A and B are shown apart, each in its own frame.
Chain A
Amino acid sequence: MDFKSVNDVHERLEMAGYIPSKEISTVVFLAAATQKPVLVEGPAGVGKTELAKAIARSLDRELIRLQCYEGLDEAKALYEWEYAKQLLYTQMVKDRINDIISHTATLAEAVDRIADQEDAFFSDRFIQPRPLLQAISSAKPVVLLLDEVDKSDPEFEAFLLELLSDFQVSIPELGTRKAISIPFVLLTSNNYRDMSDALKRRCVHLYIDYPQRETEMQIVRLKIPGIEEKLAADLVDAIRRIRLLDLKKSPSISETLDWAQSLLALQINELTPEVISETLNVICKYQIDMEKVRKNINKII
């Protein structure tokens, strides 16, 4: 099910409901072909996460997502021992343990005997796999999305390096786990801080900007099938002009789609200043932005 060529990527992403630019499909193809992770950057709402979902759909793979945040550590990202279960089992098999050591002569011998059983308690049974371990131990290849990796701590980033370069992780009690199948890894970043050079070197980089007018039109047509051509064109033009205003939060593609959807629901098929003014709260998320757009409404139509 792998991608065959850049055009193949393009077609299949489109079929999965995502309209990629040429650059996106090239980078996705290269990353898939060379099994390298992709580091995706771009403003909020241009479809970074959506890209991962679309790739998962087009490759027919499961998407495993790990949302990064400050303080995220291995226990939350990789694996955790289920202490409660371990203790419970210890209690339940107490008698068996007594049996094992009942015939021993010395304390040292008893300890040795118990040590032989160690594996029973540090085994897969008691491990709770978190997204990263799930991704590499899954028999079928998956798509792994590390969302907002720039929000995580530098320590976690360092830990990611082992995973991203060799697709293996070390669990002290069990040894090194190699990936059964190599996942397609995407990391997204919002430029909260710079990523380390070491991490960047292991990834191919993809910068997604606001789409070209044509691409955005295509996206609107694809996602909102019922929309009239003229309304869609007016809408996209208006949004693109709103983006030029110096707003606190520029409207992104998701806002375009929300807007189109609500216009459709209101059965409006022409954009007038009144219509924009009334439906502005779909596009702008801040009061101050709305006021600004209202003031400049003549420039938008």
Chain B
Amino acid sequence: MVKLIQQFVSCCRAAGLRISTAEILDCLNQLQLIEVTNELQFRATLRANFAKSMREVNHFDRLYHLFFHEMRVDPADMTQSAALAEQIRQVTDILRKKPHDNPMYDAVVDFIAGNPLEFLKEMRRIQTASDSDAQPTRFNFGPLAERFNILIQITSTAAAIAQLLQDPSLDISSTARNDLTLHFTERFNTARSIMLYEPRPGDKNTKKVKAYEQRLKELGERPFSSFTRQELTEMREAIDKLVRKLKNNVSRRFAVKHRGNLDVKKTIRSAARYGGVPVEIKYRHKPLRRSKIVTLCDVSGSVWAAARFMLNLLYSLQECFDKVNSFVFIDDLTDVTAVFEHNEINEAIRFVLEEADVHYNAATDYGVTLRHFQRDYMDILTKKTTLIIVGDGRSNYMHPEDAILGQMRERCRRVVWLNPEPEQIWGTGDSEIKAYMHQCHEVRQCSNVNQLIAFIEELVL
């Protein structure tokens, strides 16, 4: 049993679940307490110990099914598979000895022989790999080419086995040959399905907020992109008003903030008025925890309209946050924190539009942006940071690098994605928002001012 669990854990780890030794020990201890032969209980125990968040449950279920159902033959024909075991070993040994120069070949043969570890590791590597090498032309070919390699290896191994099973010199009876063919076909099918499968954590736990509050009647419901110049000015005034109101609310909240410990100094001082009797007790003030904000704004065409209003609101409310770091990007990341700190907001927005070092003619590339962020700015994300990304997730069919967003999620408190596109067209064409959605805590449609205000309010209060 211990060995079985260990094997399973190695597979889970290879497929990207993080499982500690302590958890394995706990699990083994607990297995002694239940009826191991009852599969529901067995699975529940493994799941309770190895999949420790909602996000991992789906992934775990898939691995569990693969390991205990697809790779092991059903208990019903356990005897049959035991009979076949010797032949399987024999065949795969011959295959292993064949001259080859592709490491993937070994992994495929191992997989066929019943050890999926290497195969899963390789798949995991491809799924999370990023195109870190600088390429002369940007292309989304890396992962595709690697998958293609695996497909070729699977096909060639399958062909080799078919040939081998035809070979009359092999000491295997004809019925066994038939069984073996069936068995191997099943395994190859499994291998192909794993290759095609994207282990994305379910997004049913990602909060999807749809704001319906209609605060500003007409302008509030207009999409950002359709504002005229005059309406922009009106909008700004409306936003100013709103900001003032929000600030009032916030300061009121600060006024009734909960008290901290006893302030001895102040209490004694006030006691002096009553002849040393501490009539009034003074408490220390405890400032409300303020969060840090990091924003990544796509400033290409359509999205910019939404991004500018968000930045406008965020910087008007700057005193509600510890620090606001902002970045803009199209095909690369530019840090504009300083611009917004030293200039008036509208001035800063103009600066970003006209003078900042942003290639407005380039095609949007989220992958490069995330890679750049990972390389240079990862350390500004802390457990107090809320990361806000404004963008449509349209990456022009470039590598989306959603694994990097996953790493960023692990470092910060919350990841919120604001998408100015209507939800019906998410995931269509080159939109990678579905891939990113799995890595976010919250995804919001944000195409007009009312939706934006609803979000900012939630953030500040």
Contacts and interface: CB of A to CB of B under 8 A. Distances in A.
Contact of A39 (B52, B262, B277, B286): B52
Given A6-B35, A27-B44, A71-B288, A193 B413 contact: yes
Contact of A193 (B22, B47, B57, B441): B441
A100 interface: no
A248 B210 contact: yes
Given A22-B40, A23-B40, A288-B212, A30 B30 contact: yes
Interface of A: 6, 22-23, 26-27, 29-30, 33-34, 36, 39, 41-43, 70-71, 73, 75-76, 81, 83-84, 87, 91, 153-154, 191-195, 197, 200-201, 203-207, 248, 286-288
Nearest to A197: B18
Contact of A91 (B33, B210, B277): B277
Interface in B206-234: 207, 210, 212
B289 interface: yes
B410 interface: yes
A200 B34 contact: no
Contacts of B336: none
Contact of A30 (B43, B45, B410, B413): B45
B6 interface: no
B174 to A, nearest CB: 44
Contacts of A248: 210, 212
24 contacts: A22-B41, A23-B40, A29-B33, A30-B33, A43-B205, A70-B289, A71-B258, A75-B260, A76-B258, A81-B262, A83-B262, A87-B267, A154-B413, A191-B205, A192-B441, A193-B413, A194-B53, A197-B18, A201-B23, A201-B52, A203-B52, A205-B47, A205-B48, A248-B212
Given A205-B51, A248-B212, 16 more contacts: A23-B44, A26-B48, A33-B33, A34-B26, A34-B30, A34-B33, A71-B258, A76-B258, A83-B262, A84-B281, A194-B410, A194-B441, A201-B22, A203-B52, A205-B53, A207-B47
A192 B18 CA distance: 21
Interface centre among A42, A73, A153, A194 (most CB of B within 10 A): A194
A107 to B, nearest CB: 18
B288 A87 contact: no
Given A191-B207, A201-B22, A22 B261 contact: no
Contacts of A27: 44-45, 48
B414 interface: yes
Nearest to B49: A204
B414 A193 contact: yes
B253 to A, nearest CB: 11
Given A83-B262, A191-B54, A191-B205, A26 B44 contact: yes
Contacts of B18: 197
Interface string B17-49: 010101100100110011100101101110111
Contacts, number: 107
A81 B286 CA distance: 17
A84 B282 CA distance: 10
Contacts of B53: 41, 191, 194-195, 200, 205
A26 B210 contact: no
Contacts of A84: 281
Contact of B48 (A30, A33, A154): A30
Contacts of A286: 212
Interface residues of B, number: 47
A83 B282 CA distance: 10
B142 interface: no
A203 B383 CA distance: 21
B444 interface: no
A191 B442 CA distance: 10
B331 to A, nearest CB: 30
Contacts of B51: 205, 207
A6 B43 CA distance: 13
A129 B299 CA distance: 53
Interface hub of A6, A84, A197 (most chain B Cβ within 10 A):
A6
A23 B47 contact: yes
A70 B458 CA distance: 13
B288 A26 contact: no
A75 B261 contact: yes
Contacts of B413: 154, 193
B39 to A, nearest CB: 10
Contacts of A43: 204-205
Contacts of A75: 260-261
A18 B207 CA distance: 28
Contacts of A288: 210, 212
Nearest to B204: A43
Contacts of B212: 248, 286-288
Nearest to A202: B22
A192 B53 CA distance: 12
Interface in B410-455: 410, 413-414, 441
Contacts of A207: 47, 51, 54, 57
Interface string B271-286: 0000001100100001
Nearest to B31: A30
Nearest to B258: A71
A110 to B, nearest CB: 17
Interface in B116-166: none
Return the 4 tightest CB-CB contacts between A and B, nearest first: A26-B44, A200-B52, A204-B48, A23-B44
Interface in B243-271: 258, 260-262, 267
Nearest to B23: A201
Contacts of B383: 154
Contacts of A200: 52-53
A211 to B, nearest CB: 15
Given A70-B289, A205-B52, A26 B41 contact: yes
Nearest to B43: A23
Residue among B29, B38, B47, B410 having the largest count of chain A Cβ atoms under 10 Å? B47
A6 B41 contact: yes
Contacts of A22: 40-41, 44
B409 interface: yes
Contact of A205 (B49, B260, B288, B441): B49
Contacts of B20: 197, 201
Contacts of B384: 154
Contacts of A71: 258, 288-289
A33 B278 CA distance: 51
Nearest to B260: A75
Interface string B75-91: 00000000000000000
Q: Which residue, of A27, A30, A193, A287, has the highest number of chain B Cβ atoms within 10 A?
A: A30
